């Protein structure tokens, strides 16, 4: 049976209090800026440390982004979803990072060739941004995986405002409409522009800035260092 890591689901009152009280400054990419996933300097460092076999995976990742900029958004979703579901195996944070909860950068996930649901989702999110998919169409979403009675993270894609989201996931590897994923119950969503509590199938209530999330801030800081 597929194992899913236990992720603490925020109590709604705690979540709202957290977003209001946390005073850490936002560090990250501007909403319309494409992230640089891996620089040539970083590739040279990876090849020197890990060898040609490892660096080839990074070149494949870079080619994915470089060669498919003109594809349709739906084609980009499938390419990215398939790439990471094929490249990365699921493994708990405690086994990979010796921590209860750690959000790996896409480069860290590629180096480990393993990650939990958050790492799959974040790698897909930043790769799609690099492919030119607008940030406001992507939502990193915490859900409850009903079959396993555990928290889980997926990436949602909304073509137009109010449309039903498509779900990119590492449990069910097919991209399906949210209404087809009866096994998932949304809790809250966020991206580089904000955070929303789960509402109806089409909309949610915006409750604060995603920059207030400690793990998100830490992730963006490490990505910024990797890009140097």
Buried b (16+ CB within 10 A) or exposed e, 48-73: eeeeeeebeebeebbebbeeeeeeee
Residue 28, pLDDT above cutoff 50 = no
Higher pLDDT, 213 or 175: 175
Quote the radius of gyration of the chain (alpha carbons, Å).
17
Record the pTM.
0.83
Neighbouring CB atoms inside 10 A of 215's CB total 12
Model confidence pLDDT, tens digit, residues 10-22: 444 344 434 433 4
pLDDT level of residue 205 (50, 70, 90 thresholds)? low
* Beta carbons of 102 and 167 less than 8 angstroms apart: no
pLDDT (tens digit per residue) in 176-194: 999 999 999 999 888 887 8
Q: For 92-106, write each residue's pLDDT tens digit.
A: 999 999 999 999 999
Under 8 Å CB-to-CB from 191, ≥6 apart: which residues? Answer: 125, 135, 136, 138, 139, 140, 210
Q: Which among 225, 192, 190, 155 has a CA at the least distance from the CA of 26?
A: 192
Pick the more confident residue, 1 or 131: 131
pLDDT value at position 149?
93
- Mean of per-residue pLDDT scores for the chain: 84
Is a pLDDT exceeding 50 seen at residue 35? yes
Please report the pLDDT score of residue 192 as a whole number.
Answer: 84
Share of the chain above pLDDT 90, in %: 68
Instruction: State how far the Cα of 127 lies from the Cα of 81, in Å rounded to an integer.
Output: 10
CB 87 within 8 Å of CB 131: no
Q: With a cut of 60, say whether residue 108 has pLDDT above it.
A: yes
Helix (H, G, I), strand (E, B) or coil at 177: strand
> Residue 30: its pLDDT value, please?
38
Domains present along the chain, CATH in parentheses: 12-226 (3.10.620.30)
Both tokens of residue 35?
A: 């992230």
């Amino acid at each position: 049976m597929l194992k899913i890591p236990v992720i603490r689901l925020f109590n709604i009152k705690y979540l709202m209090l957290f977003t209001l009280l946390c005073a850490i400054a936002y560090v990250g990419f501007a909403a319309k800026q494409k992230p640089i996933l891996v620089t040539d300097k970083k590739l040279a460092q990876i090849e020197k440390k890990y060898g040609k076999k490892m660096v080839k995976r990074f070149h494949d990742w870079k080619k994915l982004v470089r060669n498919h900029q003109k594809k349709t958004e739906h084609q980009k979703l499938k390419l990215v979803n398939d790439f990471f579901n094929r490249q990365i195996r699921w493994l708990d944070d405690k086994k990979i990072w010796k921590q209860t909860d750690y959000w790996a950068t896409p480069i860290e996930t590629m180096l480990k060739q393993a990650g939990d649901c958050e790492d799959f989702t974040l790698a897909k999110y930043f790769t799609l941004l690099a492919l030119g998919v607008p940030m406001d169409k992507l939502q990193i979403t915490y859900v409850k995986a009903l079959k396993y009675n555990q928290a889980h993270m997926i990436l949602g894609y909304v073509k137009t405002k109010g449309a039903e989201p498509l779900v990119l996931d590492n449990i069910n590897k097919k991209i399906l409409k949210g209404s087809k994923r009866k096994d998932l119950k949304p809790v809250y969503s966020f991206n580089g522009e904000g955070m929303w509590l789960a509402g109806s199938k089409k909309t949610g209530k915006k409750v604060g800035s995603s920059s207030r999330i400690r793990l998100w801030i830490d992730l963006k800081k490490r990505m910024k260092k990797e890009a140097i």
